[in-house]
A and B are shown apart, each in its own frame.
Chain A
Protein backbone atom coordinates (compact mmCIF):
# COMPACT_ATOMS: atom_id res chain seq x y z
CA UNK A 1 0.00 0.00 0.00
CA UNK A 2 2.91 2.27 0.72
CA UNK A 3 4.04 1.53 -2.83
CA UNK A 4 0.76 2.64 -4.26
CA UNK A 5 0.87 5.90 -2.37
CA UNK A 6 4.41 6.53 -3.43
CA UNK A 7 3.43 6.08 -7.05
CA UNK A 8 0.58 8.50 -6.63
CA UNK A 9 2.89 11.16 -5.33
CA UNK A 10 5.64 11.25 -7.94
CA UNK A 11 4.20 14.23 -9.72
CA UNK A 12 5.49 17.66 -9.02
CA UNK A 13 4.68 20.78 -11.00
CA UNK A 14 7.19 22.23 -13.42
CA UNK A 15 8.78 24.74 -11.10
CA UNK A 16 11.95 26.69 -10.68
CA UNK A 17 13.85 26.09 -7.45
CA UNK A 18 12.30 27.75 -4.39
CA UNK A 19 13.07 31.43 -4.50
CA UNK A 20 13.26 31.86 -0.75
CA UNK A 21 13.90 29.47 2.06
CA UNK A 22 11.00 28.88 4.33
CA UNK A 23 12.70 29.85 7.54
CA UNK A 24 9.69 28.94 9.61
CA UNK A 25 9.90 25.36 8.33
CA UNK A 26 13.62 25.23 9.04
CA UNK A 27 12.99 26.31 12.62
CA UNK A 28 10.02 23.98 13.06
CA UNK A 29 11.91 21.02 11.61
CA UNK A 30 14.94 21.76 13.80
CA UNK A 31 12.54 21.57 16.76
CA UNK A 32 11.42 18.10 15.62
CA UNK A 33 8.36 18.87 13.49
CA UNK A 34 8.33 16.06 10.92
CA UNK A 35 5.69 17.67 8.72
CA UNK A 36 7.76 20.84 8.44
CA UNK A 37 10.74 18.63 7.62
CA UNK A 38 8.76 16.89 4.91
CA UNK A 39 7.96 20.30 3.40
CA UNK A 40 11.67 21.13 3.40
CA UNK A 41 12.36 17.77 1.79
CA UNK A 42 9.80 18.39 -0.97
CA UNK A 43 11.02 21.95 -1.60
CA UNK A 44 14.70 21.02 -1.83
CA UNK A 45 14.53 17.50 -3.28
CA UNK A 46 14.92 18.49 -6.97
CA UNK A 47 18.05 20.54 -6.41
CA UNK A 48 19.62 18.06 -3.99
CA UNK A 49 18.81 15.10 -6.23
CA UNK A 50 20.22 16.91 -9.26
CA UNK A 51 23.46 17.59 -7.40
CA UNK A 52 23.80 14.05 -6.01
CA UNK A 53 22.85 12.38 -9.28
CA UNK A 54 25.36 14.41 -11.30
CA UNK A 55 28.18 14.02 -8.82
CA UNK A 56 27.70 10.24 -8.68
CA UNK A 57 26.80 9.71 -12.35
CA UNK A 58 23.51 8.29 -11.08
CA UNK A 59 24.99 5.37 -9.16
CA UNK A 60 23.25 5.02 -5.78
CA UNK A 61 21.85 8.52 -6.29
CA UNK A 62 18.52 7.71 -4.62
CA UNK A 63 20.13 6.10 -1.61
CA UNK A 64 22.59 8.97 -1.24
CA UNK A 65 19.79 11.51 -1.58
CA UNK A 66 18.07 9.80 1.34
CA UNK A 67 21.35 9.89 3.27
CA UNK A 68 21.50 13.64 2.68
CA UNK A 69 18.07 14.22 4.18
CA UNK A 70 18.73 11.91 7.12
CA UNK A 71 21.93 13.85 7.77
CA UNK A 72 20.00 17.10 7.40
CA UNK A 73 17.53 15.98 10.06
CA UNK A 74 20.40 15.17 12.41
CA UNK A 75 22.25 18.41 11.76
CA UNK A 76 19.41 20.90 11.44
CA UNK A 77 19.83 22.22 14.94
CA UNK A 78 23.40 23.25 14.08
CA UNK A 79 22.23 25.53 11.24
CA UNK A 80 22.97 29.05 12.47
CA UNK A 81 21.67 31.03 9.54
CA UNK A 82 25.14 32.32 8.63
CA UNK A 83 24.49 31.42 5.00
CA UNK A 84 21.26 30.83 3.10
CA UNK A 85 19.69 27.54 4.15
CA UNK A 86 19.85 26.18 0.60
CA UNK A 87 23.58 26.97 0.37
CA UNK A 88 24.17 25.20 3.67
CA UNK A 89 22.10 22.20 2.59
CA UNK A 90 23.89 21.84 -0.75
CA UNK A 91 27.26 21.89 0.95
CA UNK A 92 26.00 19.20 3.30
CA UNK A 93 24.81 17.19 0.28
CA UNK A 94 28.18 17.55 -1.46
CA UNK A 95 29.87 16.38 1.74
CA UNK A 96 27.71 13.27 1.94
CA UNK A 97 28.66 12.35 -1.63
CA UNK A 98 32.34 13.10 -1.11
CA UNK A 99 32.44 10.94 2.03
CA UNK A 100 30.94 8.09 0.06
CA UNK A 101 33.62 8.49 -2.62
CA UNK A 102 36.30 8.30 0.06
CA UNK A 103 35.02 5.10 1.63
CA UNK A 104 34.05 3.27 -1.53
CA UNK A 105 37.08 1.42 -2.88
CA UNK A 106 35.39 0.51 -6.15
CA UNK A 107 34.87 4.17 -6.80
CA UNK A 108 38.43 4.99 -5.76
CA UNK A 109 39.66 2.56 -8.34
CA UNK A 110 37.50 4.27 -10.91
CA UNK A 111 39.12 7.59 -10.01
CA UNK A 112 42.31 6.10 -11.35
CA UNK A 113 40.94 4.13 -14.28
CA UNK A 114 38.14 6.44 -15.25
CA UNK A 115 39.66 8.32 -18.10
CA UNK A 116 40.87 5.19 -19.83
CA UNK A 117 37.37 3.75 -19.71
CA UNK A 118 36.03 6.97 -21.09
CA UNK A 119 38.44 7.14 -23.95
CA UNK A 120 37.56 3.67 -25.16
CA UNK A 121 33.91 4.66 -25.58
CA UNK A 122 32.68 5.74 -28.97
CA UNK A 123 31.43 9.33 -29.16
CA UNK A 124 27.76 9.46 -28.30
CA UNK A 125 25.31 10.32 -31.03
CA UNK A 126 24.40 13.96 -30.66
CA UNK A 127 20.81 14.76 -29.70
CA UNK A 128 21.25 18.28 -31.09
CA UNK A 129 20.81 19.72 -27.59
CA UNK A 130 24.15 20.50 -25.96
CA UNK A 131 22.72 20.47 -22.42
CA UNK A 132 21.24 17.00 -22.94
CA UNK A 133 24.43 15.68 -24.51
CA UNK A 134 26.38 17.17 -21.64
CA UNK A 135 24.28 15.18 -19.13
CA UNK A 136 25.22 11.99 -20.94
CA UNK A 137 28.88 12.88 -21.28
CA UNK A 138 29.11 13.82 -17.59
CA UNK A 139 28.28 10.28 -16.58
CA UNK A 140 31.34 9.05 -18.42
CA UNK A 141 33.82 11.37 -16.72
CA UNK A 142 36.22 9.98 -14.13
CA UNK A 143 34.76 10.58 -10.66
CA UNK A 144 37.35 13.14 -9.55
CA UNK A 145 37.03 15.31 -12.64
CA UNK A 146 33.25 15.03 -12.60
CA UNK A 147 32.96 16.07 -8.95
CA UNK A 148 34.91 19.23 -9.63
CA UNK A 149 33.12 20.03 -12.88
CA UNK A 150 29.72 19.66 -11.20
CA UNK A 151 30.69 21.71 -8.18
CA UNK A 152 32.35 24.50 -10.20
CA UNK A 153 30.48 24.74 -13.49
CA UNK A 154 27.04 23.43 -12.54
CA UNK A 155 26.77 24.50 -8.90
CA UNK A 156 28.93 27.62 -9.02
CA UNK A 157 31.44 26.80 -6.27
CA UNK A 158 34.78 28.64 -6.20
CA UNK A 159 38.04 26.70 -6.47
CA UNK A 160 38.95 27.50 -2.87
CA UNK A 161 35.59 26.16 -1.63
CA UNK A 162 36.09 22.99 -3.67
CA UNK A 163 39.62 22.69 -2.34
CA UNK A 164 38.29 22.88 1.24
CA UNK A 165 35.53 20.34 0.56
CA UNK A 166 37.79 17.83 -1.17
CA UNK A 167 40.93 18.51 0.90
CA UNK A 168 43.00 19.28 -2.17
CA UNK A 169 44.79 22.44 -3.30
CA UNK A 170 43.02 25.13 -5.33
CA UNK A 171 45.60 24.49 -8.05
CA UNK A 172 44.59 20.84 -8.26
CA UNK A 173 40.95 21.88 -8.48
CA UNK A 174 41.75 24.19 -11.40
CA UNK A 175 43.77 21.54 -13.20
CA UNK A 176 41.04 18.91 -12.74
CA UNK A 177 38.38 21.33 -13.96
CA UNK A 178 40.33 21.98 -17.14
CA UNK A 179 40.86 18.26 -17.59
CA UNK A 180 37.11 17.62 -17.16
CA UNK A 181 36.18 20.29 -19.70
CA UNK A 182 38.70 18.97 -22.21
CA UNK A 183 37.39 15.40 -21.88
CA UNK A 184 33.82 16.65 -22.23
CA UNK A 185 34.78 18.56 -25.35
CA UNK A 186 36.38 15.48 -26.83
CA UNK A 187 33.13 13.64 -26.21
CA UNK A 188 30.79 16.40 -27.40
CA UNK A 189 32.84 17.53 -30.39
CA UNK A 190 34.70 14.41 -31.49
CA UNK A 191 35.55 15.88 -34.87
CA UNK A 192 37.31 18.96 -33.59
CA UNK A 193 39.33 17.37 -30.80
Chain B
Protein backbone atom coordinates (compact mmCIF):
# COMPACT_ATOMS: atom_id res chain seq x y z
CA UNK B 1 0.00 0.00 0.00
CA UNK B 2 1.47 3.32 -1.02
CA UNK B 3 0.87 6.27 1.33
CA UNK B 4 -0.48 9.53 -0.08
CA UNK B 5 2.13 12.22 -0.67
CA UNK B 6 0.97 14.73 1.99
CA UNK B 7 0.91 12.10 4.67
CA UNK B 8 4.50 11.11 3.89
CA UNK B 9 5.62 14.75 3.82
CA UNK B 10 4.45 15.11 7.42
CA UNK B 11 6.52 12.10 8.46
CA UNK B 12 9.79 13.02 6.81
CA UNK B 13 11.39 14.70 9.86
CA UNK B 14 10.72 11.65 12.00
CA UNK B 15 11.95 9.46 9.15
CA UNK B 16 15.13 11.50 8.96
CA UNK B 17 15.64 11.33 12.74
CA UNK B 18 15.13 7.55 12.78
CA UNK B 19 12.06 7.85 14.96
CA UNK B 20 9.49 6.04 12.81
CA UNK B 21 8.44 2.50 13.64
CA UNK B 22 9.57 -0.09 11.10
CA UNK B 23 6.22 -0.40 9.31
CA UNK B 24 5.84 3.37 8.81
CA UNK B 25 9.45 3.55 7.71
CA UNK B 26 8.87 0.95 5.04
CA UNK B 27 5.83 2.83 3.76
CA UNK B 28 7.87 6.00 3.47
CA UNK B 29 10.66 4.10 1.69
CA UNK B 30 8.13 2.78 -0.80
CA UNK B 31 6.76 6.24 -1.43
CA UNK B 32 10.21 7.80 -1.74
CA UNK B 33 11.23 5.37 -4.47
CA UNK B 34 8.46 6.78 -6.67
CA UNK B 35 8.29 10.46 -5.62
CA UNK B 36 11.06 12.82 -6.70
CA UNK B 37 9.50 15.73 -4.81
CA UNK B 38 9.70 13.91 -1.48
CA UNK B 39 13.24 12.79 -2.23
CA UNK B 40 14.23 16.41 -2.83
CA UNK B 41 12.45 17.49 0.34
CA UNK B 42 14.22 14.95 2.49
CA UNK B 43 17.55 15.95 0.98
CA UNK B 44 16.86 19.61 1.84
CA UNK B 45 15.76 18.77 5.37
CA UNK B 46 18.89 16.66 5.79
CA UNK B 47 21.15 19.52 4.78
CA UNK B 48 19.35 21.90 7.17
CA UNK B 49 19.82 19.44 10.04
CA UNK B 50 23.48 18.99 9.10
CA UNK B 51 24.03 22.75 8.93
CA UNK B 52 22.40 23.20 12.34
CA UNK B 53 25.12 21.09 13.96
CA UNK B 54 27.85 23.34 12.57
CA UNK B 55 26.58 26.70 13.86
CA UNK B 56 29.41 28.36 15.76
CA UNK B 57 29.32 29.56 19.35
CA UNK B 58 29.10 33.33 19.65
CA UNK B 59 30.27 36.14 21.90
CA UNK B 60 28.29 39.22 22.85
CA UNK B 61 29.55 42.44 21.29
CA UNK B 62 30.31 43.85 24.70
CA UNK B 63 31.74 42.17 27.76
CA UNK B 64 28.98 41.19 30.16
CA UNK B 65 31.12 40.29 33.15
CA UNK B 66 31.00 43.66 34.90
CA UNK B 67 27.19 43.52 34.94
CA UNK B 68 27.19 39.95 36.23
CA UNK B 69 29.75 40.79 38.92
CA UNK B 70 27.69 43.73 40.06
CA UNK B 71 24.51 41.71 40.27
CA UNK B 72 26.06 38.87 42.26
CA UNK B 73 27.38 41.45 44.69
CA UNK B 74 31.03 40.83 43.92
CA UNK B 75 33.19 43.46 45.58
CA UNK B 76 34.77 46.10 43.36
CA UNK B 77 38.18 44.56 43.89
CA UNK B 78 37.12 41.40 42.09
CA UNK B 79 36.43 43.35 38.91
CA UNK B 80 39.87 44.00 37.51
CA UNK B 81 40.05 47.79 37.57
CA UNK B 82 41.26 49.69 34.57
CA UNK B 83 43.98 52.09 35.67
CA UNK B 84 44.59 54.92 33.25
CA UNK B 85 47.99 56.61 33.26
CA UNK B 86 48.05 59.16 36.06
CA UNK B 87 50.12 61.85 34.36
CA UNK B 88 48.15 64.86 33.29
CA UNK B 89 49.20 64.76 29.66
CA UNK B 90 47.13 61.58 29.26
CA UNK B 91 43.89 63.12 30.39
CA UNK B 92 42.23 62.48 27.00
CA UNK B 93 43.27 58.88 26.79
CA UNK B 94 40.10 57.29 28.14
CA UNK B 95 38.00 59.17 25.62
CA UNK B 96 40.36 58.12 22.90
CA UNK B 97 40.09 54.55 24.05
CA UNK B 98 36.32 54.68 23.98
CA UNK B 99 36.29 56.19 20.49
CA UNK B 100 38.71 53.59 19.21
CA UNK B 101 36.65 50.91 20.92
CA UNK B 102 33.51 51.89 19.07
CA UNK B 103 35.43 51.75 15.81
CA UNK B 104 36.79 48.38 16.82
CA UNK B 105 33.33 47.01 17.46
CA UNK B 106 32.07 48.31 14.16
CA UNK B 107 34.97 46.69 12.39
CA UNK B 108 34.52 43.34 14.05
CA UNK B 109 30.93 43.38 12.88
CA UNK B 110 29.27 43.12 16.27
CA UNK B 111 29.41 39.44 16.96
CA UNK B 112 32.65 37.58 17.19
CA UNK B 113 32.13 34.07 15.99
CA UNK B 114 34.13 31.22 17.44
CA UNK B 115 34.75 28.55 14.88
CA UNK B 116 34.54 24.95 15.79
CA UNK B 117 37.27 22.77 14.31
CA UNK B 118 36.71 23.08 10.60
CA UNK B 119 36.67 19.30 10.06
CA UNK B 120 33.23 19.51 11.59
CA UNK B 121 32.08 21.61 8.67
CA UNK B 122 33.81 19.48 6.07
CA UNK B 123 32.10 16.33 7.27
CA UNK B 124 28.62 17.76 7.33
CA UNK B 125 28.15 18.24 3.61
CA UNK B 126 27.31 21.89 4.12
CA UNK B 127 27.24 23.97 0.98
CA UNK B 128 30.35 26.10 0.73
CA UNK B 129 30.83 29.45 -0.89
CA UNK B 130 31.57 29.31 -4.60
CA UNK B 131 35.24 28.47 -4.96
CA UNK B 132 35.84 31.35 -7.38
CA UNK B 133 34.49 33.96 -4.94
CA UNK B 134 36.43 32.46 -2.05
CA UNK B 135 39.63 32.38 -4.08
CA UNK B 136 39.09 36.09 -4.72
CA UNK B 137 38.91 36.70 -0.97
CA UNK B 138 42.06 34.71 -0.38
CA UNK B 139 43.80 36.79 -2.99
CA UNK B 140 42.74 40.03 -1.28
CA UNK B 141 44.14 38.77 1.99
CA UNK B 142 47.49 37.83 0.54
CA UNK B 143 47.78 41.18 -1.25
CA UNK B 144 46.96 42.87 2.04
CA UNK B 145 49.59 40.85 3.90
CA UNK B 146 52.49 43.18 3.16
CA UNK B 147 50.54 46.29 4.15
CA UNK B 148 49.26 44.59 7.26
CA UNK B 149 52.70 43.38 8.35
CA UNK B 150 54.10 46.86 7.77
CA UNK B 151 51.39 48.54 9.83
CA UNK B 152 51.78 46.06 12.68
CA UNK B 153 55.57 46.39 12.70
CA UNK B 154 55.32 50.18 12.74
CA UNK B 155 52.80 50.21 15.58
CA UNK B 156 54.75 47.65 17.58
CA UNK B 157 57.90 49.74 17.23
CA UNK B 158 56.10 52.84 18.49
CA UNK B 159 54.50 50.91 21.31
CA UNK B 160 57.84 49.47 22.40
CA UNK B 161 59.36 52.95 22.47
CA UNK B 162 56.54 54.35 24.58
CA UNK B 163 55.89 51.31 26.70
CA UNK B 164 57.55 52.76 29.80
CA UNK B 165 54.88 55.45 29.93
CA UNK B 166 52.11 52.89 30.39
CA UNK B 167 50.69 51.73 33.67
CA UNK B 168 51.78 48.11 34.42
CA UNK B 169 48.16 46.96 34.70
CA UNK B 170 47.38 48.45 31.30
CA UNK B 171 50.41 46.66 29.86
CA UNK B 172 49.22 43.40 31.39
CA UNK B 173 45.70 43.69 29.94
CA UNK B 174 47.13 44.82 26.62
CA UNK B 175 49.51 41.87 26.37
CA UNK B 176 46.79 39.45 27.35
CA UNK B 177 44.58 40.79 24.58
CA UNK B 178 47.32 40.89 21.97
CA UNK B 179 48.19 37.31 22.89
CA UNK B 180 44.57 36.27 22.45
CA UNK B 181 44.32 37.95 19.05
CA UNK B 182 47.62 36.45 17.93
CA UNK B 183 46.40 33.01 18.91
CA UNK B 184 43.21 33.58 16.91
CA UNK B 185 45.18 34.80 13.90
CA UNK B 186 47.54 31.86 14.06
CA UNK B 187 44.74 29.31 14.36
CA UNK B 188 42.92 30.91 11.47
CA UNK B 189 46.04 31.00 9.36
CA UNK B 190 46.73 27.33 9.99
CA UNK B 191 43.12 26.34 9.28
CA UNK B 192 43.28 28.34 6.03
CA UNK B 193 46.40 26.48 4.95
CA UNK B 194 44.38 23.28 5.10
CA UNK B 195 41.29 24.85 3.53
CA UNK B 196 42.31 27.94 1.50
CA UNK B 197 38.89 28.39 -0.15
CA UNK B 198 37.03 28.75 3.14
CA UNK B 199 35.46 32.23 2.96
CA UNK B 200 34.34 32.03 6.57
CA UNK B 201 37.90 31.56 7.83
CA UNK B 202 39.15 34.28 5.51
CA UNK B 203 36.66 36.75 6.94
CA UNK B 204 37.58 35.74 10.45
CA UNK B 205 41.27 36.26 9.72
CA UNK B 206 40.65 39.70 8.27
CA UNK B 207 38.56 40.68 11.26
CA UNK B 208 41.15 39.38 13.76
CA UNK B 209 43.85 41.37 11.99
CA UNK B 210 41.70 44.48 12.07
CA UNK B 211 41.21 43.99 15.79
CA UNK B 212 44.94 43.68 16.30
CA UNK B 213 45.67 46.88 14.40
CA UNK B 214 42.92 48.72 16.27
CA UNK B 215 44.22 47.55 19.63
CA UNK B 216 47.79 48.52 18.78
CA UNK B 217 46.58 51.93 17.64
CA UNK B 218 44.75 52.49 20.89
CA UNK B 219 47.77 51.42 22.88
CA UNK B 220 50.17 53.68 20.98
CA UNK B 221 47.71 56.55 21.35
CA UNK B 222 48.07 56.05 25.10
CA UNK B 223 51.85 56.26 24.99
CA UNK B 224 52.07 59.37 22.84
CA UNK B 225 49.02 61.16 24.22
CA UNK B 226 48.21 62.20 20.68
Contacts and interface: CB of A to CB of B under 8 A. Distances in A.
A41 B63 CA distance: 11
Interface stretch (A65-73, A77-85, A110-118): A65-73
A121 interface: no
Identify the 3 closest CB pairs spanning chains A and B, nearest first.
A7-B101, A5-B82, A46-B57
B82 A153 contact: no
A61 to B, nearest CB: 7
Nearest to A132: B200
Interface in A8-44: 8-17, 34-35, 37-38, 41-42
Contacts of B218: 8
Interface residues of B, number: 77
A91 interface: no
Nearest to B174: A8
Interface string B95-123: 00110110011001000101111000100
A181 B48 contact: yes
> Is chain B's interface secondary structure helix, strand, loop, or mixed overall?
helix
B83 to A, nearest CB: 8
A156 B215 CA distance: 38
Given A50-B58, A129-B200, A8 B177 contact: yes
A154 B44 contact: no
B80 A181 contact: no
B12 A128 contact: no
Interface stretch (B21-29, B125-133, B145-153, B155-163): B125-133
B216 interface: no
B180 A7 contact: no
A45 B117 contact: no
Nearest to A127: B129
Interface string B23-65: 0000000000000000011001101110111111111111111
Contacts of A182: 45
Nearest to A68: B68
Contacts of B56: 50, 131
A38 to B, nearest CB: 6
Given A3-B101, A37-B72, 5 more contacts: A1-B82, A14-B114, A16-B114, A174-B19, A192-B40
B93 to A, nearest CB: 9
Interface of B: 10, 12-14, 19, 40-41, 44-45, 47-49, 51-69, 71-72, 74-75, 78-82, 84, 94, 97-98, 100-101, 104-105, 108, 112, 114-117, 121, 126-130, 133, 173-174, 177, 180-181, 183-184, 187-188, 199-200, 204, 208, 211, 215, 218
A34 B74 contact: yes
A46 B55 CA distance: 12
Contacts of A62: 60, 62, 64
A31 to B, nearest CB: 14
A46 B114 contact: yes
23 contacts: A1-B82, A4-B98, A10-B61, A10-B62, A17-B116, A34-B75, A38-B78, A41-B65, A49-B58, A49-B59, A50-B55, A65-B60, A66-B64, A73-B68, A127-B129, A128-B133, A129-B126, A129-B128, A129-B129, A130-B126, A135-B55, A178-B12, A181-B45
A7 B44 CA distance: 41
Interface string A86-103: 000000000000000000
Contacts of A17: 57, 116
Contacts of A65: 60, 64
Contacts of B71: 66, 70
Given A12-B180, A54-B55, A185-B44, A128 B14 contact: no
